[in-house]
Amino acid sequence: MKISNSEAWFARAQEHIPGGVNSPVRAFRGVGGVPLFIARGEGSRIFDIDGNSYIDYVGSWGPLILGHRPPFVTDALREVIECGTSFGAPTAREVEMAELLTKIVPSMEMVRLVNSGTEATMSALRVARGFTGRDLTIKFEGCYHGHVDSLLVKAGSGMATLGIADTAGVPAGFANTTIALPYNSIAAAERAFAEYDDKIAAVIVEPVVGNMGCVPPAPGFLEALRALTARHGAVLIFDEVMTGFRVSFGGAQERFKIQPDMSTFGKIIGGGLPLAAYGGRADIMKKIAPLGPVYQAGTLSGNPLAVAAGLAMLKYLLAHPEVYETLEARSAQLTAWTPPGVTINRVGSMFTFFFTDRPVTDWESAKRSDTGKFAKFFHFMLERGVYLAPSQFEAGFVSAAHTEDDIRHTVEAAREFFDRPV
């Protein structure tokens, strides 16, 4: 039997790359089989190295809100590459990006550009600790904030897929600075503040979780976090790496009308290239070197290629608010039919099909999902040209490039799966 090109390349990859991949969920461990090696993307589709085409609902894990290779992004990259790729010195585009971000997101009075979501959350926490003079952080079970040592406590995403509760390699002293609480539990947050009060530097939260699957905030939950942190002098950090410019143009904080003290952004602000940012109130951000004593640096931070792509993306979204109407319509079309034994969660253009018939509101309810049945569903859809996230515990993403025919084909394929004789 002839093996596919993806199988051949995966065999080669495993010789020199741990698990054959450079990020764990790509390995298909949550669904079985061999990961696809992708050759190119176009609009709503990706094409593997065997020439197969798939409707893509991963979208590079969220940033490709307009689909693959929007012409204005590739044009911006062609223009800037003629000037240089990295200088390790300030550029005008960095200032433009900071001005644009602070214009769109009112809670961010000042902003610092970095290279990844992990770097953004790590830096935001350091600044929050430096600002408050406190050490403890509250996070929520199933929320993933990058592979920051102190935040890999009951994290979601790839750790949930691989069944890793708490990663090896993190000193107990780091983990002990983190209090992990059930997502959507106001009572748990109140108890934590009652017990630790002036030791808590920050609360960090995905305002819409995307890393145990898509889980929206319960009514009043984010409002309660805002009130508790304000009352106790802690910093409220919204991790909007996934939700920023996705669930609405101004992110989850615009959608839910709540202003955090600090925010982290990534994904969409890079237009498909590695770029992230953290920012917030000016009095907090002025603690960062060279203004203040909290050190953070990066040779490639704000590099011209990523910033040019991100500026092109954000300026397009600013000029075309109808994109969000299209995203809402396509996402509603995709999730209008609920299969038997499945719970669908959706916020804007983020969604997850949970293989459980009970509501999913936190990590405990998410992990009741039938991961074996999800794996069968994943491969069934893949055979019909639909590429979903290869894990029950990851959100899917609709892009403005998805057509009504794309959505119709996806729904018809899903119906076929559930209509089969058991």
Hey, what's the torsion of the CAs at 253, 259, 265, 269, to 10 degrees?
A: 70
144 is catalytic: yes
Active-site entry in 48, 139, 154, 267: 267
- Cα 240–chain centre separation: 7
**Would you say residue 226 has pLDDT above 60?**
yes
pLDDT digit string, tens, across residues 112-156:
999 999 999 999 999 999 999 999 999 999 999 998 877 877 655
Decide: 64 and 272 in contact? Cβ < 8 Å.
Answer: yes
Residue 239 corresponds to which tokens in the numbers above?
């991790």
Active-site entry in 48, 56, 239, 362: 239
Instruction: Give the angle 381-387-388 at the CA atoms, nearest 5°.
Output: 85
DSSP 365: H
**Would you say residue 289 has pLDDT above 90?**
yes
Residues near 175 by beta carbon (within 8 Å), at least 6 away in sequence = 149, 150, 152, 153, 166
CA distance 48 to 54: 8
Omega before 18 cis (within 30°)? no
pLDDT digit string, tens, across residues 51-77:
999 999 999 999 999 999 999 999 999
**Would you say residue 78 has pLDDT above 70?**
yes
Residue 149 corresponds to which tokens in the numbers above?
């040592």
The topology (CATH level 3) of 71-319 is Aspartate Aminotransferase; domain 2 (3.40.640)
pLDDT digit string, tens, across residues 164-190:
456 677 777 777 899 999 999 999 999
166 is catalytic: no
Strands of 304-359, DSSP E? 343-347, 350-354
57 is catalytic: no
Active-site entry in 144, 183, 278, 387: 144
Name the pTM for this structure: 0.94
Q: Which amino acid is at 358?
A: R
Strands of 141-197, DSSP E? 178-181
> Where in the chain are the domains?
5-69+320-419, 71-319
Is 5-69+320-419 a CATH 3.90.1150.10 domain? yes
Q: DSSP of 226-256, one letter per residue?
A: HHHHHHHTPEEEEEETTTBTTTBTT-HHHHT
